[in-house]
Amino acid sequence: MKKITDFLRDDIDTLNEYSVLDSKGFVKLDAMENPYEREISIKANIPLSIDSQTLEYDDIFEANVNINRYPDANCEDLRKSLTKKYGLKKKYDSIIGNGSDELIQLICMAFLRSDNTILCPQPSFSMYKKIAQVLKFRFEEVPLKENFSLDINKMLEKIREIDPAIIFLAYPNNPTGNLWLKNDIDLIIKATNGIVVIDEAYGAFSGESFLGEINNYDNLLVMKTVSKVGLAGLRLGYLFGENSIIKQINKLRLPFNINSISQKISKLYTEDCKFINIQIKEIIKNRELLIDMLKDIKNIQAYDSKTNFILFKILQGSADEVFSKLLADNILVKNMSKTPGLNGCLRVTVGTKKENDIFIQSLKKSII
């Protein structure tokens, strides 16, 4: 049986992480920075409710940041906060990325060998394939079943056939919005010699996570992001895994990849996310209401969702036509109809109650 290290790129042992000494308490003259302090104050008035007529604000994000200095190269404070928040043991570490996209790229770069292959269900998050193509990584896909569940028998068969270095699994899946069976994913993790990356970008809206399983598998990585829960402008994601794997992947990360402001706000979020949790609950409530409204519209098939978006299929007429009519009404959704396995489908993000009502009224006109 192969070891995970057998899949790592050939030159990984010749590479070193970019090392930055801790400068706290030092006269800092090593990085060609402007020595004159420039401190900016961050204060965000964030509504606790997204739909309330009278908004209650909570100034949770209030901090000062020095912008004349380079940011913490290793995001030490943020990583410590994340470790504490998720209760991870010392044998696990994390990497902070400029969004999940950078983390996906780093993972692929770390395992880039001519004989390696990435495996992924289809359809799933488009960046897995795009980044693989840019890096000229071999990429194999296994179509989902008609109900968008994993075809576990074909997945296991493909694993035996190609012995993939990396398997990406979005949990819940984007763009279908559903959660796959945990038992199926467990079978995949056990069956492969390579790593399995569970992408939990939408995990906050599902109430499910594989972080609790990370102690059971040496080849499991779990990826999360702050983008979908209300902090997309920060461009920040994080990857958890066993120390030795994280260390090797981290060798490919460019220094100072996360700016000081994103680090500071993200750390505050990990320590007190009350306002985020309140908004997530409202989005979930609005999601269920929106699904019900979609299911009441004739000639539409709406799929159940565990995310902050809903996939729906146009059963009569053209998805392109409906998309264009919505666009003419200044409503922008995602046209998924060219995606393999999603013919005739559109995807809508769950908005405020007012936004959802406007969308439904326009959609009804577009379908007729």
pLDDT digits (tens, 9 = 90+) for 183-192: 999 999 999 9
Q: What percent of the chain has pLDDT over 90?
A: 74
Q: Can you give the pLDDT at residue 2?
A: 73
One domain for residues 84 and 38: no
Mean pLDDT of 95-105: 97
Decide if pLDDT at 108 tops 70.
yes
Q: Can you give the pLDDT at residue 53?
A: 45
Mean pLDDT of 223-241: 93
One domain for residues 263 and 165: yes
One domain for residues 179 and 242: yes
Opening angle at CA 193, ends 195 and 147, nearest 5: 65
Opening angle at CA 245, ends 209 and 259, nearest 5: 75
One domain for residues 286 and 172: no
Q: Can you give the pLDDT at residue 274?
A: 82
- The CATH number assigned to the domain holding 340 equals 3.90.1150.10
**Spatial separation of the C-alpha atoms in residues 69 and 247, rounded to whole Å:** 25
**Spatial separation of the C-alpha atoms in residues 39 and 62, rounded to whole Å:** 13
One domain for residues 241 and 196: yes
Residue 296 CB partners (closer than 8 Å, separation 6+):
none
Phi, psi angle pair for 91, to nearest 5°: -75, 0
Q: Can you give the pLDDT at residue 43?
A: 72
Q: Can you give the pLDDT at residue 230?
A: 85
Instruction: Name the domain boundary from 255, 272, 289.
Output: 272
One domain for residues 176 and 300: no
Instruction: Name the domain boundary from 247, 272, 297.
Output: 272
One domain for residues 56 and 161: no
Decide if pLDDT at 217 tops 50.
yes
Q: Can you give the pLDDT at residue 54?
A: 42
Mean pLDDT of 242-253: 96
Decide if pLDDT at 37 tops 80.
no
Decide if pLDDT at 48 tops 80.
no
pLDDT band for 65, please (50, 70, 90 cuts).
confident
pLDDT band for 17, please (50, 70, 90 cuts).
confident
One domain for residues 240 and 310: no
Tell me if 296 sits within 8 A of 280, measured CB to CB. Answer: no
Domain range enclosing 14:
4-23+72-272
pLDDT band for 46, please (50, 70, 90 cuts).
low
Using DSSP bridges, classify how beta strands 57-66 and 39-47 pair: parallel, antiparallel or unpaired.
Answer: antiparallel
Q: Can you give the pLDDT at residue 14?
A: 87
CB count in 10 Å sphere of residue 212: 11
One domain for residues 61 and 165: no
One domain for residues 19 and 60: no
One domain for residues 76 and 47: no
Compute the chain's Rg from CA coordinates.
22
CB count in 10 Å sphere of residue 101: 17
Entry pTM: 0.91
Instruction: Name the domain boundary from 246, 272, 298.
Output: 272
Range with the poorest average pLDDT among 3-12, 130-139, 256-265, 317-326: 3-12
Tell me if 197 sits within 8 A of 221, measured CB to CB. Answer: yes
One domain for residues 231 and 305: no
Q: Can you give the pLDDT at residue 256?
A: 94
Decide if pLDDT at 57 tops 70.
no
**Could you give the number of structural domains in the chain?**
3
Write the pLDDT tens digit of every residue in 311-333: 999 999 899 999 999 999 999 99
- The CATH number assigned to the domain holding 249 equals 3.40.640.10
